[in-house]
A and B are shown apart, each in its own frame.
Chain A
């Protein structure tokens, strides 16, 4: 650097100070050693995070809570619960029955992966697991509806056929809108929003259809 050759520090100006590397981290739970705390604390913290996301799905606001601290516990629990509850609907012959556990599981996870890939290929900036997290958590209203249906059936109240149709229609719209607002929160290119939302619509339609056509043996 030829320009700096003539810079010099005169000897009578004291140069002093401290050079320290800040040890504190940016976010409170990085570099936080979780090895020393009781196991209950670790589990409760994760459970609280999952619970917060559930609440956020029920009362959606325009915040990025679902996106920022993603986790896949909630989607796993919901998916397994939904697949188990759709289990008892197989008819006499295996060919005509409702979806088996593996089919529901594959549809939900493979569908979520495909939608994520689709959104990334169209130029979206959402990350892979964030997207899986959003799609998984937004299945919650449908899972709750399925639970209610099964409880009513257990209590002997009939299959609620007529009530299921408008209820599931409503919940389907709700799920799609929640997932889309979380998805589209400034992470998609502007001319392709409809292209990104349509597969989400199809995904929740298929899940609603599986719940709608559930008939117990």
Chain B
């Protein structure tokens, strides 16, 4: 199929020829205001070769055109929100695969999202993560305390609401803050790469996927195993985030850029460590002191909560 350039000139020629042949024919003109704007901006940056690699292939221009024309419904209609769920099964699976196996040098947003951010992935990955952490934590505690005679199993259902609040706040408020920050920096320093709020939510949502199998594996009651798993998943999802946001801040002041990326990684690590510490009891619980009986109204486990 022809590129954006060829398409425009071909249209013009055909219409002129046809009109010359048949002056009385009715003509219909299709307005595509996006084309000149995009051509103009592409012409202005011929030297940014390395950005092309990160920006993806030429297809991203066309999909941006289509995407720009997609979201035209007003925000109070149902159709507006339907544009955020315009993904097929294989697309969701591809995005998940891209977040778990980050390709060095390739930008997750440009490679997989390509101006079609979806809300399905972030929302359901967060929901799955909430329940996985709560269930795995409960199971892990159950297996750790299994043999002890004074242990009374408790379902700890309150932790589900705490997990839900934490994870949804992280996956939606941190992108909001980051987006606001990037917009603010954009007014000071002209960045080539800028992301919409939904794309940032997408990246964060899909980057949380690696924690789902990690949480299941955290049932294994070995401290070393748990920390190795955590570092491994942190590296994978952290690299996705870094590779996404480094191009967006690297044109800025050096210190601001490094500080931003460091803050992103720090929050991500904090989430992982916090979940591990709060939902999973430590494996070596060899406290010989008597555990306070249940009907006294105090909690059974004496480890710090």
Contacts and interface: CB of A to CB of B under 8 A. Distances in A.
Interface in A28-74: none
Contact of A99 (B90, B127, B157, B298): B157
Contacts of A98: 155, 157
Contact of A195 (B120, B154, B155, B296): B120
B295 to A, nearest CB: 6
Contacts of A125: none
B88 interface: yes
Contacts of B227: none
A91 B152 CA distance: 9
A194 interface: yes
Given A95-B299, A199-B124, A213-B155, A192 B88 contact: yes
A191 B120 CA distance: 14
Nearest to B156: A96
Contact of B299 (A93, A103, A199, A214): A93
Interface stretch (B79-87, B245-253, B272-280): B79-87
A89 B155 contact: yes
Interface string B153-181: 11111100100000000000000000000
A169 B294 CA distance: 30
A215 interface: yes
Interface in A161-217: 191-195, 198-199, 202, 205-206, 209-210, 213-215
A16 interface: no
Given A93-B297, A96-B154, A202-B131, A121 B81 contact: yes
Given A103-B157, A210-B157, 17 more contacts: A91-B154, A92-B294, A95-B156, A95-B299, A96-B154, A96-B155, A97-B158, A98-B157, A118-B124, A121-B81, A192-B87, A192-B89, A193-B89, A195-B89, A199-B127, A213-B138, A213-B153
26 contacts: A91-B155, A92-B295, A92-B298, A95-B299, A96-B156, A96-B299, A96-B300, A97-B157, A97-B158, A98-B157, A100-B157, A103-B161, A118-B124, A121-B84, A122-B85, A122-B120, A123-B82, A191-B89, A192-B87, A192-B89, A194-B89, A202-B131, A205-B131, A209-B131, A209-B135, A215-B154
Interface of A: 89, 91-100, 103, 118, 120-123, 191-195, 198-199, 202, 205-206, 209-210, 213-215
Which 9 residue pairs across A and B have the least CB separation, nearest first?
Answer: A191-B88, A96-B154, A213-B155, A121-B85, A98-B155, A194-B89, A99-B157, A91-B154, A92-B294
